[in-house]
Amino acid sequence: MILDSKEPKGPIEERWDKHRFDMKLVNPANKRKFKVIVVGSGLAGASAAATLGELGYNVSCFAYQDSPRRAHSIAAQGGINSAKNYPNDGDSVFRLFYDTVKGGDYRSRESNVYRLSQVSVNIIDQAVGQGVPFAREYGGLLTNRSFGGAQVSRTFYARGQTGQQLLLGAYQALARQIHAGKVEMHNRTEMLDLVLVNGHARGIITRNLVDGTITRHAADAVILATGGYSNVFYLSTNAMGCNVTAAFRAYKKGATFANPCYTQIHPTCIPVKGDYQSKLTLMSESLRNDGRVWVPKKVGDHRPPNSIPDEERDYYLERRYPSFGNLVPRDVASRNAKIVCDEGRGVGGGQAVYLDFRDAIARDGKDAVEAKYGNLFHMYHKITDEDPYSTPMRIYPAPHYTMGGLWVDYNLMSNVPGLHVLGEANFSDHGSNRLGASALMQGLADGYFVIPYTLGNYLATAKQEKVTTDHPEFVAAEAEVQGRIDKLLSNNGTATVDSYHRRLGRIMWEYCGMSRSDEGLRKAIVEISELRAEFWDNVSVTGSKGTFNSVLERAGRVADFLELGELMCRDALERAESCGGHFREESQTAEGEALRIDEQYSHVAAWEYQGEGTDPVRHTEDLEFEYVKLTQRSYK
């Protein structure tokens, strides 16, 4: 299989313009003749569905939640990057592009990232037009902050709720199209399969989560905007319902899955407290601007933090990275926390490090610290019952975002014609590490400003016959879905769905988490496949299929995670270099830093499903860097 990125050629700043001109258009009067399915209603899905509705397409949008407003984009705290350069501090489209490619550790496609930087400017205009209440200066103009160690202030924010405000903007635009009859919304509905007709994506099979009805939906194109798969780790900062099912069923229908091993482990999360824990809570990484990270120097030092004198503390980030200190990128901060905990110097049960504001409070006063971080301190206090003003916070890394996803070309179309993938669900823009405040930017760029153009080109050129849901491919796909559900329900096993999910999570965290090795990954592949066999043999799924059945929902999702986990390990195994969020123990410098191997791995790895019992095939798309010079990242 040849993975053709379909990137336009020529000067990078002209590529998107040129491509927009070269693409075919759908006549305004003809748009209403096309039906488009959008799965997911987060930033990418809602913005795409709303915009396509505005253009005149007939859109059906699907969400597993009870309302499109609840998609997990809502939980993003920090902000959204844009190359507006309002602060006049040297930012530009090119600099945002450059930072994103570099931050992604040179594993993303230059053309895509450049376009992302270009349209980042329009996103802010759009959001403000919708009434998104971004932070402002007293003069009434928008304010920016520096985020995630960036050298310029390009992050727009709405307190700690930027994701919520942007999602509500997109949701309201979507609501307007629902009201206008251009978008048909299907809440509490889950996509369980993709339907291909003559090799083109022509529809989906869904299950209504309230009454269990299985429905076939036919369309002229399918867009997946179904988010990431961090929940493969069981514990993550994702919402409880986040899952890989839609993307994974597409993979099984022939869409390639790119770089599944690229996951982002966020360094500042509240540590795990017990086995009952259902999810992890992220705290904005802005905390590292003033908090100092440390562990005791001695192994087994169980004294309360405030009685450990400075000379017996190891401020390990400041020690190892004198120039960046506590502000090293997410992957570096996370990995170092793991290293000190593996050495036995972790605190509060061993799986945590301190994030200490003592010095900041002494320097700036409690009021100043409270003004900056009051809401985060409050949240921490509420969850842990500890006061971070008087005792250091305990933090530990947690799975947060997945850079990998379905492979897409420059048009955001997968290798399956007609199947488009947006937002976190695709692999395209962040390489092997995502920069802070870039997820919101990408989701909205894809939905508002890319897919409305590229989808038209597909529809105008694909020229497929209309199909109905009576087509044999729909009948077959529905039967397959029914078969899976029946199999799960008739299993009569004894172990709960969550018990398998937890065990999978532990394997993934251990072997495919912050640090990966050849030996560990091989072990994980065996263990996951054994666990999967046991799942299908002994899982207990209560209730029936024709009702609201949360156990059945979770069972289907965990079944897919059990396959995805293995694919992630295979991908991690084959990529014997360290890059971004993927750290291979065999590939490090003498000082223990990540070592990228560009000669061998400067490519996208996209996996093609070969059927049950056969190993998937790894295809590659070479990455060319014309504008950004490849260098090893260094934060020393």
Beta carbon nearer to other proteins, 165 or 206? 165
Tokens representing residue 551 in the block: 């156990």
Q: Which residues contact 213 (CB under 8 A, 6 or more apart)?
A: 207, 546
Beta carbon nearer to other proteins, 87 or 254? 87
Helix (H, G, I), strand (E, B) or coil at 537: helix
Shortest CB 109 distance to other proteins, Å: 24
Shortest CB 156 distance to other proteins, Å: 8
560, 245 in Cβ contact below 8 A?
yes
Beta carbon nearer to other proteins, 26 or 628? 26
Q: Phi/psi at 394 (nearest 5 deg)?
A: -110, 130
Beta carbon nearer to other proteins, 375 or 469? 375
To 5 degrees, how large is the angle CA 158–CA 383–CA 267? 65
Shortest CB 48 distance to other proteins, Å: 10
**CA 215 – CA 228 distance, rounded (Å):** 24
Q: Which residues contact 27 (CB under 8 A, 6 or more apart)?
A: none
Beta carbon nearer to other proteins, 51 or 146? 51
CA 186 to chain centre: 23
Beta carbon nearer to other proteins, 84 or 338? 84
Shortest CB 273 distance to other proteins, Å: 5
For every residue of 337-373, DSSP letters joined together read HHHHHHTT--STTSS-EEEE-HHHHHHH-HHHHHHHH
CA dist 112 → 1, 91, 115 (Å): 21, 19, 5
398, 268 in Cβ contact below 8 A?
no
Shortest CB 569 distance to other proteins, Å: 27
512, 261 in Cβ contact below 8 A?
yes
Helix (H, G, I), strand (E, B) or coil at 231: helix
Shortest CB 274 distance to other proteins, Å: 6
Neighbours of 62 (CB within 10 A): 27
The active-site residue, picked from 330, 335, 557, 584, is 330
Q: Which residues contact 423 (CB under 8 A, 6 or more apart)?
A: 40, 42, 43, 44, 45, 225, 227, 442, 443, 446, 447
Residue 330 among the catalytic residues: yes
Shortest CB 574 distance to other proteins, Å: 34
For every residue of 275-323, DSSP letters joined together read TT-----B--GGGGGT-EEEEESSTT--S-GGGS-GGGEE-HHHHH-TT
**CA 218 – CA 499 distance, rounded (Å):** 36
**CA 401 – CA 431 distance, rounded (Å):** 12
206, 185 in Cβ contact below 8 A?
no
Beta carbon nearer to other proteins, 185 or 360? 185
Shortest CB 618 distance to other proteins, Å: 34
Sign of CA dihedral 26, 176, 119, 40: negative
Beta carbon nearer to other proteins, 542 or 610? 542
Beta carbon nearer to other proteins, 251 or 449? 449
Where do the DSSP E strands lie in 213-262? 214-218, 221-224, 257-258
Shortest CB 86 distance to other proteins, Å: 6
Q: Phi/psi at 295 (nearest 5 deg)?
A: -135, 165
Catalytic residues: 330
